[in-house]
Chains A and B, each alone.
Chain A
Amino acid sequence: MSTILEEDKEILFDFITESNEALEKTELVLLSLEEKISESDAVDSAEINTIFRTFHSIKGSAGFIGLVGTQSLTHEAETLLDLIRKDKIQLSKPHIDIFLEVSDTLMMMMNHLQDHFSEEEFPVDMSTLSSQISDYISAAESGDQDNVAEDSGAKSETKKDGAKKKTTKQPEKKASEMSDQELLDALITPEMEKQFVVDSTELLDSLEQDLLNLEKEPDNTEIIENAFRTLHSLKGNAGFFNYTDINQICHKAETFLDMARSGKVVPGTSQISLILQVLDFIKIAVDNLDDGKAPVIMGKIGLMDLMNEAFGFDETEEAPKAATPKKKSIEKEKSGKKETQAREKPEPEKNIKEAGKQVVTKIPALTKKTAAKAEKEKPETKKSVSEVIRVDVNKLNTLMDLVGEIVISESMVSHNPDLRGMELESFEKSISYLQKNVRELQELSTSMRMIPLNGVFGKMKRLIRDLSSKNNKKIELVISGGETEVDRSVLEHISDPLVHILRNAADHGIQGPEERIKNGKNETGRIELSARQVGGEIWIMIKDDGAGLNREKLLSKALEKGVIQENELDMPDEKVWNLIFAPGFSTAEKVSDISGRGVGMDVVLKNVEKIRGKVEVSSEDGIGTTINLRIPLTTAIVDGMIMRVEKSIYAIPTLDIKESLQVGENNIVDLIDGQEVIKIRESLVPVLRVHELHRLSFEQKPLSEGIVVVTEKAGKGIGFLVDEILGQQQLVIKALPNYLGSVPGVSGCAILGTGEICLILELAHLIKMVESVA
């Protein structure tokens, strides 16, 4: 069973991607649950359901594919969750820990599966984890036996209670339903349930459309008829399966539509939107059913009340007469254990006569809740399938490449040398039309690769949680701007730097609680992680209120390590902070345990520079450190200045260019070591001859005969001697072939309209080269 056929691989890969997605989400939910537990907030059952669903669906698929270990692990986790869900176990921190471990193990399993296609050789022993969970389960089952008994006792009591109080049919009916249920359970097969889900989803969809149309033409009886029929069949189906919640709710709405049908009332907007809300709840119930859970509607009673009020049913009409006491009894039964639900519903006892006025205010309140809920549930619904499709990244990359090719070929056509000097009016028109379309295509394809930072940021939550509990520190991570979108390739490159920076902030930046209190700070450290778009850049800022960087310590360390010289000790703060990026410096920091930071900071710089970004550090001793990553929106295209040096063509990102000028003889200074420096106004700028640096053949000629392009990067100026500036254009960056290894001073290349290759200069590296020469 564990070996997987070739044709099953696709299924397996689908399973892996889906599971990974779900697991990532689960992790976040678990973390938020943990927060709630620690703040003793009420636990949202929807969140537990989300986790349950994840494990459940993984279990199902794993069973199908034949992953026995995964299946049994998820089964255990699911069982435990189910107990929690049914309030038989109080969710606590050890539970969260174990669920996190399960989710980690599953993620590792997914990675393992990707390479091995089977569970075999999976290094982690899943059975220990399973047995750990089952320990919890058995402990709960024996310990909570009383609880369970109590629970059912309470139920029967209320039933009796209700029966005694009022000898209405309703409670009795409920009792009979109970026994019916058992009978029906035997009758209803999973296939039938599935059919019900499919049918209901269809019915709900068409009902929704009808209602939306009805909103526009409230007196169109045809639409009302339609809606009524649909609702009626939905109710009928639910009734057959004995899904009481759906059935009752549908009944209520149906009654209203019936009144509308017979012209007794004209449905108003608020009433229609209430029915729409109701549909959302039914949808959730149907989805629950699809996931193998009971199709209960949360806050059903509140909904019924709302409908009573909104539809103007009073006690004398319809079922409500009997329903009220029943409500009360159920309320009693539930209020004890499910506070969350109770809060959701409006007070049923509030005089319904007044309700008419209140409806308007109550509906928005409900809307908010349902909206929030609907948002959470949405990714789960089958409907979303048609709106979002999964695309293989490779395909997307190929598309990007192709679009890049099109941009190039467009410029090859429009700048074709054969056309030079020709008057081609209509051709020009066609070309400009083509250019417009190509640009749009380029923008669209770029936007397709944009991914919000939420995912990466979410992972940081976990990181900080683990770090803070490991180091016995209290750290709060505040995230904002997670919806900011960046190119996929950017995302890949900033994930590691973020981990390094945050780890540093939590490890070295934020001090322990005692020390913080001693320094007059809040016991809980605070790290802010924010993202926003500034011009053509994304700024990702990591701000902590920890110890900050210590200028003296950094300088003495740097001196000791030989990173700086004695005479550099008066360098500005900005430069001092940048010392943390010096390679090798970091390890020294770690060993000597200075309260600064530095582990892996050179990795941060390298990664960020790889995507042509910048890192800015600012810090105040004792107050905190802020690190700002400035990253270009996309790595695929850059606006570049094209220049010719001898026969070669180079490009420099336009953003980095300050000016270009011809230099007079008297402004040129030759340093003794041969480094040429020019004087521009009051500053001295070293000039590079790219060919010389690249050890290519070149003709020595005086600076004054060429043009010097002055660039600036990270506060450092550098000039390039070029023969000619060819112009400015959008360049589609291509990486140099891997075969060549890394080429110093060149970040990539681009193909020009003429088919020539131009090399894109990497200023940061060139500046370093100059500095090392000097």
Chain B
Amino acid sequence: MQTAEESLVENFEEEDSQEGQFLTFNIAMQEYGIDIRHVTEIIGIQKITELPELPEFVKGVINLRGKVIPVVDVRLRFGMDERDYDERTCIVVVNINQTSVGLVVDTVSEVMNIPEESIEPPPKVNKKINGNRFVQGLGKVEEDVKILLDTQKLLFEEELEQIINAQTKV
């Protein structure tokens, strides 16, 4: 299955225009999408080496063909409950700002084209709660709605998180 997905991604990478291409994946039955241009590869779950004193959502590091890259559990990033990894659990390796990070997702679905006109801005409600602040837009594909994530924010935005943590601690 993985190989199929890999080749899928590769095929798309070869194309000149990756504009409007999204890799979609599942977390807790909801479909999410991230810009395909940031995705370098998809690998199966593998042994994660734990590290001390990291934010909860950073699970640790993995060995990606000799490169040590950090792994973020997207569930934990969204403030959801952790779920045991199984054979369908995947690590989506994204590269942004010259940083490679693995994203743990429940399952990977497909690469799809979502034209700009069918993407709506995220609803402006309660951005502070959970994953909403990572949302870039909502993509309408036929009957479904895919939540399109802002990879940059997903990886790097932490101020809010800290504020929330501080508040809950008090």
Contacts and interface: CB of A to CB of B under 8 A. Distances in A.
B is a partner of A:
yes
A696 interface: yes
Interface string A256-276: 000000000000000000000
A113 B68 CA distance: 35
Interface residues of A, number: 27
B54 interface: yes
A648 B61 contact: no
A737 B51 contact: no
B53 A743 contact: yes
Interface string B37-51: 000000000010111
Contacts of B50: 648, 694, 696
B66 A757 contact: no
Given A694-B51, A751-B63, A751-B66, 6 more contacts: A696-B50, A696-B52, A740-B54, A743-B51, A745-B52, A757-B62
A758 B51 CA distance: 10
Contacts of B66: 404-405, 408-409, 751
Given A737-B68, A751-B66, A756-B63, A694 B99 contact: no
B51 A739 contact: no
B114 interface: no
Nearest to B51: A743
B58 interface: yes
Contacts of A751: 63, 66, 68
B49 A755 contact: no
A470 interface: no
Nearest to A408: B66
A736 B66 CA distance: 12
Interface in A721-737: 734, 736-737
26 contacts: A405-B66, A693-B52, A694-B50, A694-B51, A694-B53, A695-B53, A696-B52, A736-B51, A736-B68, A737-B68, A737-B70, A739-B70, A739-B99, A739-B101, A740-B58, A740-B61, A740-B70, A743-B52, A744-B52, A749-B49, A751-B66, A756-B47, A756-B63, A757-B68, A759-B49, A759-B51
A649 B61 CA distance: 13
Interface residues of B, number: 19
A759 B101 CA distance: 18
B52 A737 contact: no
B155 interface: yes
Interface of B: 47, 49-54, 58, 61-63, 66, 68-70, 99-101, 155
Contacts of A737: 61, 68-70, 99-101
A648 B70 CA distance: 16
A734 B49 CA distance: 14
A756 B62 CA distance: 8
A746 B51 contact: yes
Contacts of A755: 63
B63 A739 contact: no
B99 A749 contact: no
Nearest to A740: B70
Given A737-B69, A740-B70, A757 B53 contact: no
Contacts of B54: 740, 743
Nearest to A412: B66
A649 B60 CA distance: 13
Contacts of A179: none
Contacts of B100: 737
A738 interface: yes
Name, among B49, B70, B101, the residue most crowded by chain A CB atoms within 10 Å (CB to CB).
Answer: B49
A751 B67 CA distance: 9
Query: Which of B51, B62, B99, B155 has the most A CB atoms < 10 Å from its CB?
Result: B51
A695 B54 CA distance: 10
A757 B63 contact: yes
A695 B66 CA distance: 27
Contacts of B99: 737-739
B58 A757 contact: no
A404 B68 CA distance: 13
